[in-house]
Amino acid sequence: MIDLSSYKAIIFDMDGTLVDSMGAHIDAWQLTCDAFGYPFDRDYQYSLGGVPTFETVHLMNAKYGKSHDPAEVALYKKQAFEGLDHVPRLIQDTLDVFNHYKGIMPIAVGTGSDRQHAQMVLNEHGLLAQLSALVTADDVTQGKPHPETFVRAAELMGVAPQHCVVFEDTDMGRKAAVDGGMACFMVDNTRLIY
C-alpha cells in the first residue's frame, strides 16, 4: 500500500481515476464530434479528461474553428453518454487506497463531471456517503487545468492544499493539482503509478 502518512487529506479525480468510465466518455465524445462536424481525435479527447464539458467545447471550437453553442454540444454529449450501455467499474488500485485511508483522513472527489452525474456514479458504488467533500463542474467557475476544483475540495475538508495529495489520470488534472500546491499521483490505464 502506498504510504500517504505525510498528508492530511486525499482528493481523487473521478472518471479514469476512481471510476473506469473514460472509455465511455470518449465514445460519447466520438458520437458528439460526428454530430457537430468536429474531427475526432481519441488522444486529444482523452487529454481533456477532467475538463468540464462546457470548457471542452470552447477548446474544441477554438482548435477546429467552430462556433457551436457549448450548451447544445454539452447536452448532446450528456445524452450520448447516458445512451451508452455502460456501467462504470471502480478502479481497483485507487479503490484500495480509498478503502485503506477512509476513516484515517478525509477524502474528497474533485471532478469535471456535473453534480448530478457524479452523485449518481459515486452513489451507485456506495462511495458518495463516505466522502468528506465532493466538488463538481457545477461548483467552480474555472475547471481543470485551473486548480479551483482541488483547492475548493481542500477548503471543504478544512485542510491546507499543501497537506493534500491528489490522484489523477490526465496531464490537465496533474497541472491543476500541482498549480494548487498539492502533490499528485498518476493513474495510467487503471494502474496507479508510484
Q: Which residues are catalytic?
A: 13
What are φ and ψ of residue 86, in 5° steps?
Answer: -145, 120
Which residues, 6+ apart, have CB-to-CB distance to 1 below 8 Å? 96, 97, 100
Is there a contact between 15 and 23 (Cβ–Cβ < 8 Å)?
no
Report the C-alpha gap between 54 and 136 in whole angstroms.
Answer: 13
What are φ and ψ of residue 133, in 5° steps?
Answer: -160, 150
Cα–Cα distances (Å) from 167 to 22, 64, 109, 142, in that order, read 15, 31, 9, 19
DSSP state of 15: B
Is there a contact between 102 and 7 (Cβ–Cβ < 8 Å)?
no
Cell numbers for 39:
474531427
Report the C-alpha gap between 119 and 177 in whole angstroms.
Answer: 22
